[in-house]
Amino acid sequence: MTILDDIFAYKRTELVKRKQARPLTDVQAEAARAAPPRDFVAALRESSSRPALIAEVKRASPSRGLLVEDFDPLRLARTYQKNGAAAISVLTDEHFFQGHLDDLRAIREEVDLPLLRKDFVFDPYQVYEARAAGVDAVLLIVAMLSDEELHTLHRLARELGMMALIEVHDEAELRRALALRPRLIGVNNRDLGTFAVDLATTERLRPFVPPDVTLVAESGIHTAADVDRLVRIGADAMLVGESLVVAEDTGAKVRQLVRPYMRIKLCGITTRQDGLAAVDAGADMLGFNFYPRSKRYIPPEKCVRIVSALAQYTARVQLVGVFVNATRAEIEAIADDCHLDLVQLSGDEPPEFLQALGPPTLKGIRPASLEEAQADAARFARPASPALLVDAYRPGEYGGTGHTSDWALAQKLAEQYPILLAGGLNPDNVAAAVAQVHPWGVDVASGVESSPGRKDAAKMKAFVQAART
């Protein structure tokens, strides 16, 4: 028998006792009263680092025994939140990992990050139990579940508003997991039969995970070099426990693994081919320009066709519509038809116009001086990311000029607001711009084109690589 077999046999006996101590109806009633779940996947996708960090609260393991004597789960969780974790995993198995659901309840009371219940879940009772404790996601291990059990537990988690992290170890398990049409896949680099660890497991399985599924690498992540490898693999998130728990300075260890993530908007998409190339290059945002006088203008009906063709990728990228002095009715109709995630207003729109719009809105500003920039920011900055788009100043023009923006001015704004930096960026200067300004993200159009409105795939890839270097 493997270690997993031993654990599973014990858990079945344990669950019988839990059900006797507390009936399912009581647990279901508590689950119904619990606060709504947080969006676990959104927390990973919108994290300021990539791969996003799921930091684990873990007292012991079967392979290593007790990891830390002075174990304080709440203090650990607070440290994770303070130093940049996107979410927290809490081991609640009592017999093998010395965890407890009470650890999770205590953390839920004090910490705002989404929580994953890390346990050996095989029965609906455990899913209700998790929701009752305030959990936002549960772990489902494909290796210990039948297809019927997987479907039942995954469906129940979703009905309760939670995510399920579907954990796999090999190609066959991944195929079974993908049949669920999940939003979240975890690749465990630890063989649960032997407990041997190899990051190559994530490397091998990454190409088979669809782009609209968030991929989490689990186990075997200890150093900055390991994180570099996950970046190259293209992992969206990583689950790290042991190396954080045993670190002499846990906060410093979290900061060592958390990498600031530079978001990239490739703007002025006018063809399906360019949209696909932009996604392939690693764009986080695709911009569509609906200003008729722009060289990159796209008719709304053409944008609808492109967005439809990119449907399988739109969970990974934000769709942004660029407007200049358009009417509210026009903007809202196009935003609805093109499934826009964000509206960028780059004209002379007043603050009250932004507030009246239905879709989320970003204001593009073109300040001529620091005083003007600060005044614009005070009027237009939103309590969200990005708060503003900062473009180059050109009298009488509304962006897309190819002229370089004032980086010193933008730097001052970036100290106060999460900004999207635009204006004259290209693969040759974007790294310098990022190093000086420290923006939330960068926006490029003409700098990655072969001709106005037509993108160059090689330039887009070079731009993304330079911006993130």
Q: How far is CA 280 from CA 42, 236, 368, in A?
A: 21, 15, 35
Tens-place pLDDT, residues 227-268: 989 988 889 999 998 899 989 899 999 999 998 889 999 999
Tens-place pLDDT, residues 271-284: 999 999 999 999 99
Catalytic annotation present for 391: yes
CB contact at 8 A, 359 and 343: yes
Q: Which single residue is written with the structure tokens 């693969």?
A: 427
Q: Catalytic residue among 119, 226, 284, 391, which? A: 391
Which residues on neighbouring strands pair with residue 139, listed in sequence order?
A: 165
Separation CA 456–CA 329 (nearest Å):
34
Report the largest interatomic distance among the alpha carbons of the chain, rounded to a whole angstrom: 75
Separation CA 429–CA 51 (nearest Å):
25
Q: Average pLDDT for residues 90-105, to the nearest whole number?
A: 90
Tens-place pLDDT, residues 292-348: 999 999 999 999 999 999 988 877 789 999 999 999 999 999 999 999 999 999 999
Confidence of residue 401 (pLDDT cuts 50, 70, 90): low
Residue 22 has pLDDT above 80, yes or no: yes
Separation CA 363–CA 80 (nearest Å):
33
What residues contact 110, with CB distance under 8 A and at least 6 apart? 74, 77, 78
DSSP state of 90: E
What are the extents of the domains in the chain? Answer: 3-257, 263-468
Give the architecture-level CATH label for domain 3-257: Alpha-Beta Barrel (3.20)
If DSSP codes are grouped into helix, strand and coil, which group holds residue 194?
Answer: coil
Task: Locate 467 and state its tokens.
Answer: 């911006």
Same fold, 3-257 and 263-468: yes
What count of residues does the chain have?
469
DSSP state of 297: B
Q: What is the pLDDT of residue 107?
A: 96
Q: What is the pLDDT of residue 1?
A: 59
Catalytic annotation present for 267: yes
Confidence of residue 385 (pLDDT cuts 50, 70, 90): confident
Q: What is the pLDDT of residue 71?
A: 87
Identify the CATH assignment for 263-468 out of 3.40.228.10, 3.20.20.70, 3.30.413.10, 3.40.640.10. Answer: 3.20.20.70
Separation CA 384–CA 441 (nearest Å):
13
Separation CA 296–CA 450 (nearest Å):
13
CB contact at 8 A, 238 and 218: yes
Q: What is the pLDDT of residue 59?
A: 87
Q: Catalytic residue among 267, 274, 338, 443, which? A: 267
If DSSP codes are grouped into helix, strand and coil, which group holds residue 457?
Answer: helix
